[in-house]
Amino acid sequence: MAIVVGSGAGGATVAKELAFAGHRVLLIEKGPEISEEDAYRHYANVDAGVKLMRTCCLGGTTMVSAGNAMRCLENELRGFGIDLTSEFAEVEQELGVQELPDALIGDGTRRLMDAATRLGLPVRKMPKFIDPGRCCQDGRCSFGCPAQARWNAARFVDAAREHGAQVLTGKSVTGILTRGGQVRGVLCGSQEYHDDLVVVAAGALETPRLIGSIGIPTSSLFCDTFASIGGVFPDIRFNQDVPMGAYVTQKSSLILTHYSRQLVATLQGAGHTVEDGDVLGMMVKIADEDTGLVGDTIEKGVTGNDARRLTEGSAVAGAILAEAGADPSTFVTLPLRGSHPGGTARIGVSVDARLMTRITGLYVCDASVLPATPGAPPILTLIALAKYAVKRM
Ligand SMILES: Cc1cc2nc3c(=O)[nH]c(=O)nc-3n(C[C@H](O)[C@H](O)[C@H](O)COP(=O)(O)OP(=O)(O)OC[C@H]3O[C@@H](n4cnc5c(N)ncnc54)[C@H](O)[C@@H]3O)c2cc1C
């Protein structure tokens, strides 16, 4: 048997791949099993300076993803001898990755794309793991898809179950059992579950605590810090566009079309008479410096280099917004957030190129193992890496 801790992008993939390979699997997830459209109720964000975003439920943070599907860190992983070429192709096929058809690109997104083109910026539609035939275009991907159009990791959990995996929800793993350099199982409070193959995939904010408590070295945190910028554009109804439908790659940032309800509240607070459909926005996401810390507390600040990259990106995002017709005199930004926490149990520090720790049979397979800040959506890479690791377990 194998025990998998956590059911997000990493854990659900490991559980499915092991179950398909004929192993008995026990998957233990701290959060509850939910219906997709309720995912927003399970945000468990951490205010660490930069606000770190995640959800704790079956399917993990994939339950609120925007469906963005980019390959990232291919070269960095190759530096460790990990070539994911075939796994990426497999994942893209399995998740049906494709750009959205023009009919699903809303007016706000189209205006931002046209504005970026007029400014000479290389704008592209975002590849998505969203089924265009099912998409209901209500813009609520990051609340939880109400139309089952966007892939999420709970689907992999279902597939694992169909192949015999046992799934426990609402149960937190509190410790790892070892003896003589070999893993023996996990602890959930006073209850023990025994096995000689354990895969920790509790996410970058929990995994280092679990493995750190048995003396495995851990590493510093990154989160792809992002700024949200928006301004007034009456009746544009950008809130109903599929979020992050297009992006512009800059040297020091990734700039995405982006709506946030918090922009509306902030504009209202600044005295503007706006409703949900009156705001146009963009996100500036950077590959932040990995200076964060997960210990008894979690800390993640902004370095001078981070601030410079965010400022450069924000200037470009502001220019696109203004060119697209948003009123520059109304522009606001939100407090900094990070939606890709990672790096806290890296390849080369906590695990080897098979993702195994120095404890035989104890693996890590989630965003903790990423060797560098992606500055881009990591789900595709996490799934590909999990497939790669399972083949070597
Ligand atoms: C709003 C939002 C939108 C996003 N959109 C995208 C996108 O479009 N594309 C993309 O590539 N990325 C996106 N991301 C990032 C992506 O969702 C995460 O990087 C990815 O899901 C991380 O996978 P993971 O396996 O490391 O952790 P998670 O998916 O967070 O899974 C960890 C799981 O472990 C469980 N757990 C924690 N502790 C324990 C414990 N002690 N015992 C048992 N279980 C435990 C948690 O409850 C959770 O279910 C987005 C993130 C956010 C917040």
> Does one domain contain both 334 and 345?
no
> Does one domain contain both 35 and 56?
yes
Structure tokens at 58: 């079956």
263 assigned to some structural domain: yes
> Does one domain contain both 237 and 177?
no
> Does one domain contain both 153 and 73?
yes
> Does one domain contain both 216 and 235?
no
Residue 210 has pLDDT above 90, yes or no: yes
Q: What's the confidence (pLDDT) of residue 332?
A: 97
Domain residue limits at 295: 100-127+225-338
> Does one domain contain both 321 and 253?
yes
Number of domains into which the chain is organized: 2
22 assigned to some structural domain: yes
Name the residue with higher pLDDT: 140 or 175.
175
> Does one domain contain both 78 and 169?
yes
198 assigned to some structural domain: yes
**Ligand 1 atom nearest residue 377's Cα:** 11
Q: Give distance in angstroms: CA of 330 to centre of ligand 1.
A: 34
Render pLDDT for 299-354 as a digit per residue (tens, 0 to 9): 999 999 999 999 999 999 999 999 999 999 999 999 999 999 999 999 999 999 99
Task: Tell me the H-state helices in the chain.
Answer: 9-20, 74-78, 85-94, 107-118, 154-162, 207-212, 261-269, 304-324, 379-391
Render pLDDT for 54-104 as a digit per residue (tens, 0 to 9): 999 999 999 999 999 999 999 999 999 999 999 999 999 999 999 999 999
136 assigned to some structural domain: no
134 assigned to some structural domain: no
User: What is the pLDDT confidence band of residue 1, given thresholds at 50, 70 and 90?
Assistant: confident
Residue with tokens 């995640």: 54
Residue 203 CB–ligand 1 contact under 6 Å: yes
Average pLDDT over all residues of the chain: 97
Structure tokens at 257: 């079309």
CATH number, domain at 84? 3.50.50.60
Question: What mean pLDDT do residues 355-366 have?
Answer: 98
> Does one domain contain both 361 and 346?
yes
> Does one domain contain both 92 and 237?
no
CATH number, domain at 313? 3.30.560.10
Indicate the residue among 319, 338, 357 that finishes a domain: 338
Rounded distance between C-alpha atoms, residue 52 and residue 205, angstroms: 9
Neighbours of 328 (CB within 10 A): 12
Instruction: Sort 126 into a burial class: Cβ within 10 Å, 0-12 / 13-18 / 19+.
Output: buried
> Does one domain contain both 198 and 304?
no
What is the pairing mode between strands 191-194 and 46-48?
Answer: unpaired
User: Are the C-beta atoms of residues 282 and 317 closer than 8 Å to each other?
Assistant: yes
132 assigned to some structural domain: no
Residue 381 CB–ligand 1 contact under 6 Å: no
Instruction: Sort 274 into a burial class: Cβ within 10 Å, 0-12 / 13-18 / 19+.
Output: buried
> Does one domain contain both 277 and 158?
no
Range in 128-142, 174-188, 200-214 with the lowest mean pLDDT: 128-142
The structure's pTM equals 0.98
User: Are the C-beta atoms of residues 20 and 393 closer than 8 Å to each other?
Assistant: no
What is the pairing mode between strands 198-200 and 2-5?
Answer: parallel
Q: Give distance in angstroms: CA of 87 to centre of ligand 1.
A: 20
347 assigned to some structural domain: yes
275 assigned to some structural domain: yes
Look at ligand 1, atom 15, and give the residue with the nearest C-alpha.
Answer: 340
**Ligand 1 atom nearest residue 43's Cα:** 53
> Does one domain contain both 171 and 288?
no
User: What is the pLDDT confidence band of residue 194, given thresholds at 50, 70 and 90?
Assistant: very high
Rounded distance between C-alpha atoms, residue 11 and residue 5, angstroms: 7
**Ligand 1 atom nearest residue 378's Cα:** 11
**Ligand 1 atom nearest residue 174's Cα:** 41
